[in-house]
Structure 1
């Protein structure tokens, strides 16, 4: 009998692995529907859907290994990171998905609320929050919407050698700022950004990418705590916020 491995679990959803199959169990069926629609529309490799039932989506395992893990050095060669950049260019140039993303005004309101919560609860020193809040302002500007993954963490991208074998977890895919995907991908590995840009093949605003790192991290700390994760683990959001603040 094959063992069952809990990949990730929190109050909203869980993913378990049984052999070469992943089962995504979600309390909100609309998220599963959105993920299936996004994978069908994405012009880059995604996992094969084996079957789906209410609240459960079964996916085949992807070949290769994750691009990296937060808090750990990435063993992927520069060519693999560049290949991910090339895949992102294809995704961002694709026709827009129907799901709208957050507007700059919505993000600014969320950012204000999270900064207030972080300082009120003394989760981080006030100066670290305020410095990151100032950095994040550069992301709150109009952008040309693109087909974005929306949660392009290192562990969501699989590579084999210097080729991308697939991208997982499409539940947050929406119209958004393409630089947000680049910022999320390199959140714990900013030194790899130039490799990604080499494959992406376009001029990008490095300050906006840096701003998205601060904005994502400021917005993410409370969610992680509320769902049983540790935002202070190596390479995670609190590490990012401290590093960003030290560069001001």
Structure 2
């Protein structure tokens, strides 16, 4: 009998694995609609949709392995990281979908959200004021106009699978939509700065490194409270708080 593996579970959604099938349970069916539509539009390998019966979405496992995870050791050759960068570029060059994704918030809305998060982190003693203030300054270049691209919206390295130097699948598209391409690049290299040059070599386009650095700080500042409240540990070695400290 196949065992049931809990891949991730919190108050918003849960993902279970049974053999080669992933069962995603999500009460927000609009989010599932985005995931299904984005997988159908994306010009990169995505999981095969097996069936959908709300609130459950069943998808097939993709072959290969990831390059690592946030807070863990990175694996793969420079060529593998470059292949991932090339796949990201292919996604960003595709016609953007009509809906905004996580990476599609306006600069004004994002600035207001960031300022509220920073004030809360300091007021509640989650992070020291100097750490928050420094990273708020680093985050400023991300708050600028951007050309809409087809973005994944949660492109952490645990969501990109490769077999050798070939991308075999990109998973978890629920945050996809029209957005800032540099948000995806920053998310993919968060905590793995040493591989940024390899990723950009495969991406094949000039990018503003200050904006990548800004997104590392901005994304981490916004994530700390949510992660803490949903059973994750942003203070673990190599994770979000260490990313913020590295900007000091």
TM-score (norm 1): 0.97
Deviations 1:18-72 (A, max 9, x none): 0000000001111111100000010000000011111111010010011211222
Is residue 2:211 matched to residue 1:208?
yes
Residue 83 of structure 1, CA deviation: 0.4
Q: What's the secondary structure of 1:150's corresponding residue?
A: coil
Q: What's the secondary structure of 2:91's corresponding residue?
A: helix
Contiguous gaps of at least 5 residues in structure 2: none
Partner of 2:194: 191
Q: What's the secondary structure of 1:52's corresponding residue?
A: strand
Mapped partners of 1:104, 1:174: distance in 2? 16
Q: What's the secondary structure of 2:40's corresponding residue?
A: helix
Q: What's the secondary structure of 1:23's corresponding residue?
A: strand
2:149 pairs with one of 146, 150, 165: 146
Is residue 2:102 matched to residue 1:107?
no
**Contact 1:84–1:196 (CA under 8 A) maintained in structure 2:** yes
**Contact 1:70–1:234 (CA under 8 A) maintained in structure 2:** no
Is residue 2:28 matched to residue 1:20?
no
Mapped partners of 2:46, 2:133: distance in 1? 38
Partner of 1:163: 166
Mapped partners of 1:122, 1:195: distance in 2? 37
TM-score (norm 2): 0.97
Partner of 1:118: 121
Mapped partners of 1:23, 1:233: distance in 2? 28
Q: What's the secondary structure of 1:32's corresponding residue?
A: helix
Taking only aligned residues, the RMSD between alpha carbons, in angstroms, comes to: 0.7
Mapped partners of 1:196, 1:75: distance in 2? 13
Q: What's the secondary structure of 1:92's corresponding residue?
A: helix
Deviations 1:91-111 (A, max 9, x none): 001011121121111100100
Is residue 2:145 matched to residue 1:129?
no
Is residue 2:67 matched to residue 1:64?
no
Aligned residues, how many? Answer: 245
Contiguous gaps of at least 5 residues in structure 1: none
Partner of 1:80: 80
Give 4+ residue runs of structure 1 displaced > 4 Å after superposition: none
